Amino acid sequence: MLKEYGLTQNERHPPLGIIMLDAAIHRPPGDVGHSASWPFDVIFKIVPGASARKIVGGDDADLMDAFVRAGDELHAEGAIGLATSCGFLAARQRELSARMKLPLATSSLLQLPIVERCLSAGRRAGVVTYDAKALTERHFVAVGADPGTPRVGLPPDGALRAHIEGDRPYDREWLRRDVFAAVQALLSGHPNIGAIVFECTNLPPFSAEVSREFGLPVYDVITLGRWFYSGLTQTAYSQSFGMG
């Protein structure tokens, strides 16, 4: 882990702070809330009352002060940047980042504009989301992405919503089937998809499998966090070597 970032054991960088929803759910490696998902140190802060449905449904205006407090607390604990545990906070990117003491990346959807610009002519990025009905134009506009971006949601009666909102036990195989079916539906409806962005921060455990199965790059909250963190902790290159 340290070698990847050009660090020694004596040169560890400060952590990335992650503002978490108030959700007592299973978080396997790959999930935004599992420390092993990250190739650097992270610290977490829960926002009391920030349920998944409240944030996804956009009924969260009364929580913005609490999100800012959580960011301030993470800053005081040594974080050098902030991320969140729900991609639907894209709608609050401008509002929250303007109030934070640290740089803030709310959502994997922030990657959409640059991903699309990296694709060949005629190719598009497509989004797999927790709730397709709730993911609206305002979420895309708030992060500078095309509001017409193709997207498909996980099923309302599927594994993830049953776990997060219905207190059902985590069922990885059921969720994997839901994710694969969603990706297949996205590609069937939009054959020009050249990359996939997972809005939901619980989906990165499936990113590698989806990429292998469908032969496409997959971007998620972990790829966002790695990029974001790399700018917060620039490597100091040695000047003792000549030109290569």
CATH number at residue 144: 3.40.50.1860
pTM of the model as a whole: 0.91
Note whether 125 and 22 are same-domain residues: no
Q: What is the pLDDT confidence band of residue 4, given thresholds at 50, 70 and 90?
A: very low
**In terms of C-beta density within 10 A (0-12 exposed, 13-18 middle, 19 or more buried), how is residue 229 classed?**
buried
For residues 165-185, b (16+ Cβ closer than 10 Å) or e, as one string? beeeebbeebbeebbeebbee
The interaxial angle of helices 159-166 and 172-189, nearest 10 deg, is 130
- What pLDDT was estimated at residue 146? 96
Note whether 216 and 194 are same-domain residues: yes
Quote the domain boundaries for residue 46: 3-107+226-232
Q: What is the mean pLDDT of residues 28-48?
A: 97
Q: Is the pLDDT of residue 164 over 60?
A: yes
**Residue with the two structure tokens 């059921």:** 174
Note whether 115 and 211 are same-domain residues: yes
- At position 18, the amino acid (one-letter code) is I
- What pLDDT was estimated at residue 70? 98
- What pLDDT was estimated at residue 13? 80
- What pLDDT was estimated at residue 243? 57
Distance separating alpha carbons of residues 52 and 49, to the nearest angstrom: 9
Report the sign of the C-alpha dihedral through residues 96, 35, 58, 69, in that order.
negative
Note whether 138 and 170 are same-domain residues: yes
Across the chain, mean pLDDT equals 93
Q: Is the pLDDT of residue 7 over 50?
A: no
Note whether 116 and 202 are same-domain residues: yes
Number of neighbouring beta carbons within 10 Å of residue 50: 22
Distance separating alpha carbons of residues 221 and 83, to the nearest angstrom: 9
